[in-house]
Structure 1
């Protein structure tokens, strides 16, 4: 929801960074990979009980994830770049979940349920994107929903900071993912009915 509704507020900074990185010779795929490596380290920082660093690398990777898409649109987007971007995003999320699960094994059951809900929500998102006509600046149909990347980062951040409430926050995240899945299924039914 925030990615769709509030992107215009941060886009000028994202675009300046994208242009600067293009000038120094980086490509969108380079930045996608850098964002992945930085973001995937968040799980290690969580496991080592370094929440500040976990949050920093998570959000910095998220910023770079927005920058790489802008870089691609300023140059020539590639289908392989889209595959890298989407798959690396999931690996960063997996890193956070694994870091929390190994640091807090009593919460593993809730984290497992969250993982399943993210897999299902992404399956709907990607399938609808694949079978729908492209409409917008992204390389595939981007189906908005309550839980987009920023909402996920906010909820992951709460899970990292408020570990005494890890299970309730994880279950809240699960509920948001379930709602988003139902929301996207309903939209898919409408747009693909024809």
Structure 2
């Protein structure tokens, strides 16, 4: 919901950094991997209830998640495919989306390990993430099969980006809130999980309208 509105604000600093990194040998996939590594460390911090350290690492990880795409668009091509004009690639998009979903669910799993009293609601929230993730990716697969074009409101992507109530920005905000207010994990998880279910239902209806 907020991704398209935030995109013009975050693109300016990301593009500036990407231009600085261009030609240094730092590849988008390196940045993706480093961002995922930071997410793993954030999860470890949550297991040991180091909530504010986890918060800083989550924000750093998501910064890397935005930076990898900007670097891909500005860096000289290294693709094996002829005609490439940048380092944007399907493989990079694949790495990015896989690391994103592992990151989101891994952070919630870490909460459950560190605070087992919240394990039930953590399981519910991961279930809701599966709904948003699967409805998102399944739509992208069919859209690509049918040759549908993306409007790029959230920035240029390697796949069709279907919007919803809960997108990346909202998820990051919720993860940060959980770090700041861990005692309210159940309440935050219940509210956001409900919104995720609404997003999933909306995407299913969208798919029925577009593909039915």
For normalisation by structure 2, the TM-score amounts to 0.86
Mind listing any 5+ residue stretches in structure 1 that lack a counterpart? Answer: none
Mind listing any 5+ residue stretches in structure 2 that lack a counterpart? Answer: 75-85
RMSD (Å), alpha carbons: 1.3
Moved over 6 A (4+): none
Q: Which residue of 1 aligns with 2:193?
A: 174
Distance in 2, matches of 1:163 and 1:47, equals 12
Distance in 1, matches of 2:208 and 2:66, equals 29
The superposition leaves residues 162-184 of structure 1 with CA deviations (integer Å, 9 ceiling, x where unpaired) of: 12211111111111111111121
Distance in 1, matches of 2:35 and 2:19, equals 17
Distance in 2, matches of 1:148 and 1:37, equals 22
| Cα offset, 1:77, TM superposition | 1.4
| Cα offset, 1:2, TM superposition | 1.4
For normalisation by structure 1, the TM-score amounts to 0.94
Pairs aligned (count): 193
Distance in 2, matches of 1:22 and 1:164, equals 43
Distance in 2, matches of 1:6 and 1:172, equals 22
Q: Which residue of 2 aligns with 1:134?
A: 149
| Cα offset, 1:126, TM superposition | 0.4
Which structure is higher in helix share? 1
| Cα offset, 1:147, TM superposition | 0.7
